[in-house]
Structure 1
Amino acid sequence: MHQKAFRRTLVIMEHVLNCLVIDDDPEVNTYVCELVSQTPFLQLTGSYDNAPAALHDLETGTVDLLILDINLPGIDGVTFARTLKDSGRPGPRVILISGSREYAVDGYKVDAVDYLVKPFLYEDFFRAVAKVRSMMSQPKAVPGDDHLFLKVEHELVRVNIGEIRYIESFKDYVKVFTGDKMITALSTLKAMEERVAGHRFMRIHRSFIVNLDKIDSIQHLTVRFGKTIIPVTEQYREVFRAEFRDWL
Structure 2
Amino acid sequence: MVNSILVVDDEAEMREMLVDLLHDGGFAATAVEGGVAMAQALDQGRYALVIIDLRLKGEDGLTLARGLRARSSVPIMILTGKADDTDRILGLELAADDYVMKPFNPRELLARVRALLRRSVLAAGGEAGSRERCAFGDWVLDLDARRLFNAQGEACALTPGEYQLLEVFVRHPNRVLSREQLLDFTRSEDSEVFDRTVDVLVVRLRRKIEANPRQPRYIRTERGVGYAFAATVTRVA
Question: Shorter-chain-normalised TM-score: which range?
Answer: 0.5 to 0.7
Conserved? CA contact 1:113–1:128, under 8 Å:
no
Tell me which of 55, 62, 77 is aligned to 2:61.
77
Tell me: CA distance 1:56–1:160, structure 2 relative to 1, closer, same or farther (3 Å).
closer
Question: Aligned partners of 2:83 and 2:120: how far apart in 1?
Answer: 26
Q: Please, what TM-score do these two structures have when normalized by structure 1?
A: 0.57
Conserved? CA contact 1:81–1:110, under 8 Å:
yes
Q: Shift of residue 61 of structure 1?
A: 5.4
Of 173-182 and 29-38, deviating more is 173-182
Amino acid at match of 1:32: L
Question: Aligned partners of 1:127 and 1:105: how far apart in 2?
Answer: 21
Conserved? CA contact 1:70–1:78, under 8 Å:
yes
The aligned counterpart of 1:224 is 217
Tell me which of 165, 170, 173 is aligned to 1:174.
165
CA RMSD of superposed structures (Å):
4.1
SS of the residue corresponding to residue 116 of structure 1 reads: strand
| Gapped regions of structure 2 (runs ≥ 5) | 134-142, 150-157, 176-181, 189-201, 222-237
Question: Aligned partners of 1:77 and 1:134: how far apart in 2?
Answer: 24
Amino acid at match of 2:132: H
Alignment of 1:39 onto 2:39: no
Question: Aligned partners of 1:98 and 1:18: how far apart in 2?
Answer: 22
Matches within 5 A, 1:2-151: 10=1, 16-40=2-26, 42-44=27-29, 46-60=30-44, 62-86=46-70, 89-102=71-84, 103-138=87-122, 139-140=124-125, 146-147=131-132
Question: Aligned partners of 1:43 and 1:35: how far apart in 2?
Answer: 10
Structure whose alpha-carbon radius of gyration is higher: 1
Larger RCO: 1 or 2 (CA < 8 Å, sep 6+): 2
Structure having the higher helix fraction is 2
| Gapped regions of structure 1 (runs ≥ 5) | 1-9, 11-15, 149-157, 188-203, 213-217, 230-248
Tell me: CA distance 1:220–1:85, structure 2 relative to 1, closer, same or farther (3 Å).
closer
Question: Aligned partners of 1:110 and 1:82: how far apart in 2?
Answer: 6
Structure having the higher strand fraction is 1
Tell me: CA distance 1:168–1:178, structure 2 relative to 1, closer, same or farther (3 Å).
farther
Q: Please, what TM-score do these two structures have when normalized by structure 2?
A: 0.60
Q: Shift of residue 178 of structure 1?
A: 2.6
Identity of aligned residues (%): 21
Question: Aligned partners of 2:50 and 2:212: how far apart in 1?
Answer: 39
Aligned length: 178
